[in-house]
Amino acid sequence: MQRDDDIQPENLHGNVFLIGPMGVGKTTVGRNLARALRRPFYDSDKEIQAQTGVDIPTIFEFEGEAGFRDREAAMIERLSAERDIVLATGGGAVLRAENRRLLAARGMVVFLNASLNELLRRTRNDSNRPLLQTANPRTRLEQILRERTPIYRELADIELTTDGRRGKQIVPRICRLLAERDPL
């Protein structure tokens, strides 16, 4: 088995798609991973915001979750068609079968996971999480995790836990696991 520091990340090829719940660190890990792999990084939520000129809560307010999911599906279709990118998806992107099909067919899917308490800690002061703007964010997040975790696991080629780790610590492990699945 290769050690993490033996991997030549720039020799790994193909798309890498990060999935997982809100607050797990997909954007942070994705940026660092893209830097290590020397390829473009995209965050589907940020791309939607750039395209619309408004933040995600505003889209939810005017179009509802269904309207946002339509925009998300179109963005995932467009971005996943790119070559040799790293893409951080929104937490709910896996809810649509069409998104799951595209992600599975067009790259390696990495499920970043974290404990409920860690996710709550990371999201507690973030007003850009419309699904958690509720009287009881813990209950809502538990519900989301119950619904989505089996989908994340089924779709993932690789699963890693981010509890107690920084994005830069996770990247070498992802690179090693990618290399094991796609030998250099």
Please report whether residue 184 resides in a domain.
no
Show the tokens assigned to 57. 């809560």
Please report whether residue 120 resides in a domain.
yes
Using alpha carbons, select from 138, 178, 131 the residue that is nearest to residue 33.
178
pLDDT of residue 19: 98
Please report whether residue 102 resides in a domain.
yes
Q: What values do phi and psi take at 41, rounded to 5? A: -115, 135
In whole angstroms, what separates CA 51 from the centre of its chain?
19
- Range(s) of the domain holding residue 76: 4-179
CA–CA separation, 148 vs 164, rounded Å?
22
| CATH at 79 | 3.40.50.300
pLDDT digits (tens, 9 = 90+) for 1-51: 444 444 455 556 799 999 999 888 899 999 999 999 999 999 999 999 999
The number of folded domains in the chain is 1
pLDDT digits (tens, 9 = 90+) for 52-96: 999 988 998 899 989 999 999 999 999 999 999 999 999 999 999
pLDDT digits (tens, 9 = 90+) for 87-131: 999 999 999 999 999 999 999 999 999 988 888 886 776 555 555
Query: CB burial class (10 A; 0-12, 13-18, 19+) of residue 156?
Result: buried
Only one residue has tokens 């390696």, namely: 108
Please report whether residue 111 resides in a domain.
yes
Please report whether residue 9 resides in a domain.
yes
Please report whether residue 91 resides in a domain.
yes
